[in-house]
Amino acid sequence: MAAHPLRKAVAPHVDALGLYARVRAESEALAAPLSDADATVQSMPDASPAKWHLAHTTWFFETMALKPNVPEYRVFDETYNFLFNSYYESVGDRQPRPRRGMITRPSLDEILAYRAHVDAAMEQLIDSGLQRPLADLIELGLHHEQQHQELLLTDILHLFAQNPLKPAYRDPAPLPVVETPRETAYVPFDGGIIEIGHGGEGFAYDCEGPRHQTLIRPFRLADRCVTNAEWLEFMADGGYRDPLLWLSDGWAQILEHRWAAPLYWEERDGEWGSMTLRGFQPIDPNAPVAHVSYFEADAFASWAGKRLPTEAEWEHASLTIDMDGVFADGGAGRLRPAPAKAGTGLRQMFGDVWEWTQSPFTPYPGFRAAEGAVGEYNGKFMCGQFVLRGGSCATPTGHVRPTYRNFFQPDKRWQFSGLRLAEDA
């Protein structure tokens, strides 16, 4: 996920210490149900062990905030710089990402001790009073940790899905299924020259700006996300078997990996179910489809005679609504997408599922990467990826905004990624 240094600081933050303590505690609460084995195993190269997420976010504060700013700080363990660096070439060598699951030691308890050591020093640093740019960096670190909170959940889901017992991360009691379908309506928007991108107060990642003008043509946007029931129709109509619906690289994925349904879907006795963070559950027909790649989203849109929105269209439309949706710590801790609420107008724009757009992740006009290590965050990934908008049921509440740009390669499926259709007006 995207991340970066702030342009504007909140220093001195009114409750920087409280915010720091809350975010750090939330990460440990997410890891609390896990055994040491759960937190160590890596299920695929794209995922990371929960233990690594807990350590890497701590390494960020130790490396970026404490070591340069607190001369008397005592590094917890010098070897951790190699173990828990992610991709900061300017900071040093690191454990290869596909082999993070080989880090059986330090143990989970030792990682928690590492967190406590860094937290004690960080609390002293924050309590001493912060000035820019250090306050900027710490706020960045907290948003970075929230990104890893979401990744921790999606990586645990992928790990547990490999277990034939299909264990539940949270209460496995089946959630109620909404039986009444909601028809799709399309909300019209005028074309013209609009402004997108972050340009106001508050936190934003560098890739969200600069704010700039762009041209959009009149369009209509679906009032809700594509549902599981609609995806089942796509499957029944041979959607995964028709090469004319697919981009060439997407069809290559079909042939290589034999995709025939979204990730985690499984048919048992003629009924479709899915692995979730609550264990294996029946498909909710009216909830948004999740765990589909950009290739699948694009193929579905072609089958439906529609298209995916551009990120400019999505952002322009999202400015008219509240950021109200199913997030990780909202919706009673649901951790699954929910059916759209009754009503008119745009729904589910925030939370539930990240929504693929047709826009490649490229720099906005005037973008410049920051200097130093934190400048390695976004700019070097602006190639071969597509933008998703809106957040998901695994995203922390308050972490997203209309300008937020998430991004993944077009074949990735393990995130809570879905879609919303658009059409030309």
Contact 312, 359 (CB under 8 A): yes
pLDDT (tens digit, 9 = 90+) per residue, 273-332? Answer: 999 999 999 999 999 999 999 999 999 999 999 999 999 999 999 998 989 889 998 545
Contact 393, 335 (CB under 8 A): yes
Q: State the average pLDDT for the chain.
A: 92
Mean pLDDT throughout 182-186? 90
Distances (CA, A) of 253 to 261, 294, 358, 375: 13, 11, 18, 33
| Separation between Cα atoms, residue 53 and residue 49, nearest integer Å | 7
Identify the pLDDT of residue 88: 84
Identify the pLDDT of residue 378: 72
pLDDT (tens digit, 9 = 90+) per residue, 168-181? Answer: 999 888 888 877 77
Q: Which residues pair with 424 in a beta bridge?
A: 219
Hey, what are 284's tokens?
């909710």
Residue 259 pLDDT > 50: yes
Residue 336 pLDDT > 90: yes
197: left (phi over 0), alpha (psi -120 to 50) or beta: left
CA 126, 131, 132, 133: dihedral to nearest 10 degrees?
-50
Contact 60, 86 (CB under 8 A): no
Hey, what are 174's tokens?
């089946």
Identify the pLDDT of residue 158: 98
**What is the pLDDT confidence band of residue 6, given thresholds at 50, 70 and 90?**
very low
Residue 3 pLDDT > 70: no
* pTM, two decimal places: 0.94
Identify the pLDDT of residue 363: 95
Contact 388, 315 (CB under 8 A): no
* β-strand pairing of 354-360 with 417-418: parallel
pLDDT (tens digit, 9 = 90+) per residue, 22-69? Answer: 999 999 999 999 999 999 999 999 999 999 999 999 999 999 999 999
| Separation between Cα atoms, residue 291 and residue 278, nearest integer Å | 15
Contact 169, 29 (CB under 8 A): no
Mean pLDDT throughout 77-81? 97
Identify the pLDDT of residue 174: 83
Contact 193, 396 (CB under 8 A): no
* CATH topology (fold) of 186-424: paralog of FGE (formylglycine-generating enzyme) (3.90.1580)
**What is the pLDDT confidence band of residue 7, given thresholds at 50, 70 and 90?**
very low
Contact 340, 326 (CB under 8 A): no
The helices-and-strands tally (H runs, E runs) of the chain is: 10, 12
Identify the pLDDT of residue 332: 54
Domain boundaries, the chain: 16-161, 186-424
